Structure 1
């Protein structure tokens, strides 16, 4: 008999059907009722032992976490909250699980802290929480590819190893073939990188944007979706050393086009996940509501997970300039009552507390802020006519703050050269990027979506380490 996934059985099967399922034991009660899950859905199916068809030796091997194959007939369940029971006609133990070993792990059926779950990341996929998170992560990834494919974009694989620093921040992981003590030195004591594998100093990329721009100037509409790396010594709930970025680049788009694209894109993702992962969203929504009840009122979410997703799907995003945002914040009650921890001044970057006030308290909808001061934005952003601001945009979401950063790119050769000098970026390191401005240069724009931040938003998880299978953070590279 061909195996059926539990998701398929629960959705399509009828009473009286004979099915074969394979999965892992989540619980075994009264030596008769087995809760089985195979990862296809958050829901278990209950198998009921028929003692006439099950020998005692097999019964003793049915333990939590054991892998089993069960054949039987579907009948109406006598229990609450489930449609079917599977009356067992045959059961095979595919993989044993020692109860004593299980009791030492997160597979033991009880509540565990998220930190303990991270320490046993090789097993946390088996929990209800992380099964839901990673099914939603998969759906989010598929939605991104589907959106761009359906809208005529070309997927571009940009380099992971690079000789340039797209962000100009310098926080990059070096890639070298030299050993820890055998790097050849120049006369002045510096490393002679010309002897290294690539003949120059190279690093793991922080962005595929610059290379994607090159492709956009020939193919029109492209996007990248790949791993990026940042050697930032940060242990916050929003930072990883290894993470994934989604970066579309579009020829002939200006800043307004860029905002329109990003808004439509984010709304599409939220709608896709809501429609295709209803059970997992419902589980995570209920979990969050229960956790909120144990928190002080000031720390609770203003909107539930489901409400936040609807908030994005059903609202047009508010669009304001950075200058207007500063004025609004300085006239706000929190500012006047000195509730903000960080200063609000023109020329300084907005902090999370400012962003969340704008989204959650003032506008009560997603917000796009544009035209930031050039002083703290990247060199490739197009300089506005005022000479002080750039055609940049940040998109702010409830609960998470900035989720997308983007801009119209600087297409003018002379201006881009001046900006490279201002940012202390050597022209020989980005000669190819400058070169594209000589051959039919044109306005173009794009943005970057931190994939893990998007998954945080659609799952309601509050720590970025809990939305990537094996998080890489300072002093942590386990698994």
Structure 2
């Protein structure tokens, strides 16, 4: 079984002879010794390896190693006299698995994230992006744990769909190589890449109770902000016999669970983010876990913004779709904690959200967090057939095309709710990264799709 540096550092098997594989971070020569820092990606820390001139390939291989070379090293693990490290390996053999050219672009210095973005194939080898990869992995694991512990059923919703869940028309179209006539529609009619798995998740919620989907979604939105991607991942639960209050409780519990899990299991990586990416990050995240979320109706939120005396770039009035600057002002400066805003105007929300008794707002909720703004968006779904039909007509949707969705209201309709959590925004919030492009392995944005 392959040994990983993370496990060795957690419980050092002193005195044992081990074989490790990894990549060379640095090499320092002094006298008849070379000090090699080996990292295998399992954790932020590397392992110091001491190779001496007695090794057969010391002059021919070891002293010519460049940063980035891949190595297989066998040696004895011993206590280290050096300050700042507990153990070191004294090599008995160093095998060069793959050489690295001298022009390796990731030398031991700090690189800007903009520079690293231009080499998506190499950037996970850096400390910061490697840490993001590990934290993202742990968050994904915790997502499944959260729902599985609560008896949710994991559902794979389609990536190719004929339904525009948001009704905004920002779908990537799926076509074959044929450019003319009906042959270009592989499925016989237009289809696109999904913007959400919600509508299909509702189908299964009406049969299995509580379900969730966790997969890629796509938006053909020409937006180059630090918070938007053309391809991203969404966590979307749908819950039968669940109203808006129930929905908010699940969403809040999930956020707290995921953040607490990362704080417990990614200590070293989170300390890196706290030290070099966002000062005070750990305290901010601990506060989210420990504090109750504030609940605020949309109408009161707008009143607070209007009375703030602030000059926002986007003017404030009832009926607007609040922008990031509004959301961040409320949760950072007014309440200093995460905020759940409810009961938005129906005119700015999708057709599937349940109309409130006032006839002008819907049973919607957004969770806003400091530094990001909206991180969760959800609602109680409209379960009343006639009301849903009227909302769809107002939105200009074809009742015939969505007849299958209306069937869910014809045959055993029930109150149900759900929400969507943008996974990359969660990773951005947890790591403190200022740009969402650093939270996904291969970012896709307008005009940019490397690898």
TM-score normalised by the shorter chain: which range applies?
A: over 0.9
Take 2:99 and 2:395, find their aligned partners in 1: how far apart are those partners?
A: 60
Question: What does 1:115-154 align with in structure 2 at a 5 Å threshold?
Answer: 115-154=114-153
Bigger drift between 253-262 and 338-347 goes to: 338-347
Asked whether the equivalents of residues 172 and 218 of structure 2 are also in contact (C-alpha less than 8 Å), the reply is: yes
Take 1:441 and 1:98, find their aligned partners in 2: how far apart are those partners?
A: 64
Partner of 2:394: 422
Kindly indicate whether residue 283 of structure 2 is the aligned counterpart of residue 284 of structure 1. no
Instruction: Provide the secondary structure at the position in 1 that maps to 2:388.
Output: helix
Shift >4 Å, 4+ stretches: none
Question: What does 1:335-414 align with in structure 2 at a 5 Å threshold?
Answer: 336=309, 338-414=310-386
Once the two structures are TM-superposed, the CA of residue 54 in structure 1 deviates from its matched residue by 4.1
Kindly indicate whether residue 97 of structure 2 is the aligned counterpart of residue 76 of structure 1. no
Take 1:477 and 1:3, find their aligned partners in 2: how far apart are those partners?
A: 34
Bigger drift between 4-13 and 37-46 goes to: 4-13
2:180 to 161, 173, 183: 183
Once the two structures are TM-superposed, the CA of residue 356 in structure 1 deviates from its matched residue by 1.1
Asked whether the equivalents of residues 61 and 93 of structure 1 are also in contact (C-alpha less than 8 Å), the reply is: no
Which stretches in structure 1 are left out of the alignment for 5+ residues?
185-191, 293-303
Take 2:316 and 2:185, find their aligned partners in 1: how far apart are those partners?
A: 47
Partner of 1:187: none
Asked whether the equivalents of residues 456 and 467 of structure 1 are also in contact (C-alpha less than 8 Å), the reply is: yes
Instruction: Provide the secondary structure at the position in 1 that maps to 2:446.
Output: coil
The structure-2 alpha-carbon separation of the partners of 1:415 and 1:126, relative to structure 1 and needing over 3 Å to count, comes to same
Take 2:56 and 2:268, find their aligned partners in 1: how far apart are those partners?
A: 33
Take 1:257 and 1:21, find their aligned partners in 2: how far apart are those partners?
A: 49
Q: Deviations over 1:237-273 (max 9, x none)?
A: 1111111111000001000000000000000000001
Question: What does 1:77-476 align with in structure 2 at a 5 Å threshold?
Answer: 77-99=80-102, 101-102=103-104, 105=105, 107-179=106-178, 182-184=179-181, 192=182, 196-289=185-278, 304-332=280-308, 336=309, 338-476=310-448
Once the two structures are TM-superposed, the CA of residue 363 in structure 1 deviates from its matched residue by 1.2
The size of the alignment, in residue pairs, is 447
Take 1:428 and 1:462, find their aligned partners in 2: how far apart are those partners?
A: 44
Take 2:275 and 2:13, find their aligned partners in 1: how far apart are those partners?
A: 29
Once the two structures are TM-superposed, the CA of residue 15 in structure 1 deviates from its matched residue by 2.7
Once the two structures are TM-superposed, the CA of residue 354 in structure 1 deviates from its matched residue by 1.5
Partner of 1:300: none
Take 1:464 and 1:82, find their aligned partners in 2: how far apart are those partners?
A: 33
The structure-2 alpha-carbon separation of the partners of 1:3 and 1:158, relative to structure 1 and needing over 3 Å to count, comes to closer
Once the two structures are TM-superposed, the CA of residue 355 in structure 1 deviates from its matched residue by 1.0
Kindly indicate whether residue 55 of structure 2 is the aligned counterpart of residue 53 of structure 1. yes
Take 1:54 and 1:308, find their aligned partners in 2: how far apart are those partners?
A: 53
Q: Deviations over 1:91-116 (max 9, x none)?
A: 111111111x31xx2x2221111111
Take 2:302 and 2:195, find their aligned partners in 1: how far apart are those partners?
A: 29
Take 2:2 and 2:216, find their aligned partners in 1: how far apart are those partners?
A: 35
Take 2:325 and 2:174, find their aligned partners in 1: how far apart are those partners?
A: 37
Once the two structures are TM-superposed, the CA of residue 60 in structure 1 deviates from its matched residue by 3.5
Bigger drift between 313-322 and 356-365 goes to: 356-365
Q: Deviations over 1:334-392 (max 9, x none)?
A: xx2x4322222111121212111211111111100000000100100000000000000
Once the two structures are TM-superposed, the CA of residue 19 in structure 1 deviates from its matched residue by 1.4
> What is the TM-score when the length of structure 2 is the normalising length?
0.97
Take 1:13 and 1:443, find their aligned partners in 2: how far apart are those partners?
A: 54
Asked whether the equivalents of residues 74 and 91 of structure 2 are also in contact (C-alpha less than 8 Å), the reply is: yes
Q: Deviations over 1:130-167 (max 9, x none)?
A: 11000000001010011001110001111111111000
Take 1:428 and 1:108, find their aligned partners in 2: how far apart are those partners?
A: 60
Asked whether the equivalents of residues 3 and 19 of structure 1 are also in contact (C-alpha less than 8 Å), the reply is: no
Instruction: Provide the secondary structure at the position in 1 that maps to 2:60.
Output: helix
> What is the TM-score when the length of structure 1 is the normalising length?
0.91
Asked whether the equivalents of residues 76 and 83 of structure 1 are also in contact (C-alpha less than 8 Å), the reply is: yes
Take 1:84 and 1:178, find their aligned partners in 2: how far apart are those partners?
A: 58
Instruction: Provide the secondary structure at the position in 2 that maps to 1:57.
Output: coil
Take 2:384 and 2:306, find their aligned partners in 1: how far apart are those partners?
A: 35
